[in-house]
Each structure stands twice: as C-alpha cells, then as structure tokens.
Structure 1
Amino acid sequence: MMTHRDALEVLAAVRSDQVVVTTMGSVAIWPQLSDSPLDFHYLPSSMGQGGPLGLGLCLAKPGRGVVVLTGDGGLLMNLGCLVTVAQVEVPLYIVLIDNGLYEVTGGQAVPNAGGTDFGAIARGAGIGRVYTCDSRAGWEAVAGEAVAGNGPVFVWLKVQGEHGKPTPAAPRPMAEQIARLQDALR
C-alpha cells in the first residue's frame, strides 16, 4: 500500500498549471513538494470544505483546473458536496486520501473504515470519471489521465494510516495565501 507522501509525489509529477487545494494531512506534505502560488493550504475549523472551495474556484475561473486533496474523514463530513459537484462540468479533480483514520485529530478510525466504497458513492452521486488506486504503481499509471481533461473527476487513493501525527500548520498565514492565489489567478 502506498503512503500519503507517495500519493502526493505522484501528483506533483503530473500536475500542470492547476490550483492545488490541500486540506488536513496533505497540508503537512504538499509544501515539501511544491511552493507554487497556485497552492492553497486550507485548514478550516470544519472539515469537508475542500470540495466546495474547489468548485467555487472552478466557477470563478472557468477553464482553470483545480485539484482538491481531501481525506476520508473530511469527505465523510460533507458527502453531499459530491452530488453538487457532479452537476457542473468543470475541471475539478477531487483526490481522496483514504487512510481510514482521523489522522491529525488523534488517529481515531473513521466510521466504517475500510468498508466504505467511496468510488461507488462518487459514481452514485453522478461523477462520471472515477479512479481507484491502492499502490503507487497503480496511481502512477493513471495519474496523468486522472487530473486532466473534463471533470469533475474523483480519485480514491488508499494509503497507509499513521497514528500520532500532529495537526499541521499552513506554511503561510491565510491572508498571504489568499493574496498569492489571487495574484496567480489574475
């Protein structure tokens, strides 16, 4: 099984000029792989808002691709966003990092960890392109295709969970991140 870092390294290798929105555990890893002004590290007080933020960016900047890195815990807190996202043809790529844990809040198991078919949920919500990978090699084989072209797209990456990880901090204050992203999108 791949690690969270493996999953993000593969994405970093195929990423184009897309906005990348990171949430929760990905906020600790992505800045080690990319420091683009198009990177936005979103740590809200409520989980599950990465998908709606990505959709808003797609609607505000038609044609601009947005990759959202979300965790299984966060997605479970806002499954309804998949139904909303599926209604609009935009280049939005939701990449689910499924480690079966609320990793950064103490390592508690998410409800039905390992038993939820997130791919079936995404398809059932109406998302036409769904990819599922549980190895780095499998992800490398489809990553370029998965985060390109028409969307929305849902990518379900099964990764190893890690206990004892602290809640990450964004590499820059929110106001600075917003200003960088606004400048990059002008």
Structure 2
Amino acid sequence: MSAPSIRMDLLSVLRTLHDVRTDEVLLTSMGNGREWQQFEPHPLDFVHVPSSMGQTQSWGLGIAIAQPSRRVVACCGDGSLLMNLGSLVTIANVAPANFTLLVFDNGVYEVTGGQSTPASNIDQLIGQQIGFARLAEECGFRHTERITTLDEWQRRAETLLKSVGPVCAVLEVAPQTKDYSVRSPGRPKERVREFAATLQESG
C-alpha cells in the first residue's frame, strides 16, 4: 500500500493561483469553482457549473482555439476528469500552445457527498496511484507535472501558466469535510453572454 501523505489545502492552492494570475482566461468548476468565488471577481473568470461533470477542459479548449493569442487556464477535479478522460487526447491532438489544465486531485466526488473515485479505490486496493499527469503525457501533452506540496506549487505556478502548452499540472489537494456543495455563481445565460462579450472586447 502507498504511504499516506498530507495533501494541500485547496483554498491555499487557489490563493497562489489568484496571486500569480494576470490576464489569463480562468475557468473553474464544481468544488474549485465554489472556493474560487471567495476571491474578488476578475472579468476573465468564469465559474462553470454544468449539469454534467468533465466539460470544463473541453470548453477551455474551445476558447483557446478561438483566441490563440490569449492564455486559457481550465481547472477541474479528478472526478470531473474521470468523466471525460477522452478530452486529454483531444486537447493533445489540437495541441494549443496557450492552454493549461489544472487538475485538483482529492480522490473523491466531493460535490455529490465525498464518494471515493474509482481511481482512489485502485490506489487503496493495490497501492498503485492513477497518474493523471502520466496519462496526459502519454496522450501527448507538451508538459505535465504532479505537485504534492504548497511550496512546490508556489515555485511552479507562474511558470505553468506561461509555459508553451498544452500543459497539465495535477495538484494533490485534501477534500473538503464540510460545506462541499456546489455554490451557484448566478444566472448562467446572463453570465455566458457577459463573458462572451468580455472575450470579444478584450481579445
């Protein structure tokens, strides 16, 4: 069995992302989107709360294709990524140089009640961790990393947002133990229209 490790606090990880972020489009979803709303809003933020999990990275890919001069950062959880693993192949095939995928790996489907993911169950059964960063590398991402400490993330965050993509960074974070439900950021139709207008005006 693999030895237990102390995982990073999600809010601390997001605070570092907030501190180094400049003019990148930043898409958050589910649990990370809930916590991201604690920071002051940015016009190029979009909290994506879809009816189906795993779509944020695909949506981010579309924006990266449409606006190749703008950096796009898509944030998803490990549970969401498991719902759409094929997106890794699609992203690698398109190979957008302006795209970074951040995967917050907490081992659970947090917003539905904290059930263990199949990947987490494999880790517990055979002591072999599912390597999402390795999966991205095998799919053809230009750069992949797995980050396990806050110090390491603070050193690497800015570079990972600027490096030639596609980039995939997997961050080991602890699951939330309370208040883990999704928090609505507001009316979706109005937010999409406002976000699209911002992209067109500033692109």
TM-score range, shorter chain: over 0.9
Which residue does the alignment assign to 1:99? 106
Structure 2: distance between partners of 1:65 and 1:108: 33
Question: Does structure 2 retain, via aligned residues, the 8 Å contact 1:69–1:97?
Answer: yes
What letter matches 1:119 in structure 2?
A
Percentage of identical aligned residues: 37
SS of equivalent to 2:84: coil
For the aligned residue pairs, the C-alpha RMSD in angstroms reads: 1.3
Query: Which runs of structure 1 show a deviation greater than 3 angstroms over 4 or more consecutive aligned residues?
Result: 163-166
Which residue of 5, 15, 22 corresponds with 1:9?
Answer: 15
Which has more radius of gyration? Answer: 2
Which residue does the alignment assign to 1:129? 143
Structure 2: distance between partners of 1:170 and 1:61: 27
Structure 2: distance between partners of 1:153 and 1:8: 18
CA-CA distance at 1:111 after TM superposition = 0.7
Which residue does the alignment assign to 1:36? 42
User: CA offsets, 1:61-93, max 9 Å, x none?
Assistant: 121111111000000111110011012232111
Question: Does structure 2 retain, via aligned residues, the 8 Å contact 1:42–1:170?
Answer: no
CA-CA distance at 1:172 after TM superposition = 2.1
Which residue does the alignment assign to 1:179? 193
User: CA offsets, 1:36-84, max 9 Å, x none?
Assistant: 1211111111100011100001111121111111000000111110011
The gaps in structure 1 that reach 5 residues or longer are: none
Structure 2: distance between partners of 1:182 and 1:12: 21
Q: TM-score, normalised by structure 1?
A: 0.95
Question: Does structure 1 retain, via aligned residues, the 8 Å contact 2:95–2:141?
Answer: no
Which residue does the alignment assign to 2:55? 49
Structure 1: distance between partners of 2:39 and 2:178: 22
SS of equivalent to 2:64: helix
CA-CA distance at 1:149 after TM superposition = 3.2
- Establish whether residue 153 from structure 1 lines up as the match of residue 160 from structure 2: no
SS of equivalent to 2:75: strand
CA-CA distance at 1:164 after TM superposition = 4.2
Structure 1: distance between partners of 2:141 and 2:31: 25
Question: Does structure 2 retain, via aligned residues, the 8 Å contact 1:107–1:164?
Answer: no
Is the deviation greater in 59-68 or in 176-185?
A: 176-185
Q: TM-score, normalised by structure 2?
A: 0.87
CA-CA distance at 1:94 after TM superposition = 0.5
- Establish whether residue 80 from structure 1 lines up as the match of residue 69 from structure 2: no
The gaps in structure 2 that reach 5 residues or longer are: 1-6, 124-128
Structure 1: distance between partners of 2:40 and 2:63: 19
SS of equivalent to 2:91: helix
Question: Does structure 2 retain, via aligned residues, the 8 Å contact 1:104–1:164?
Answer: no
Which residue does the alignment assign to 2:67? 61
Higher helix share: 2
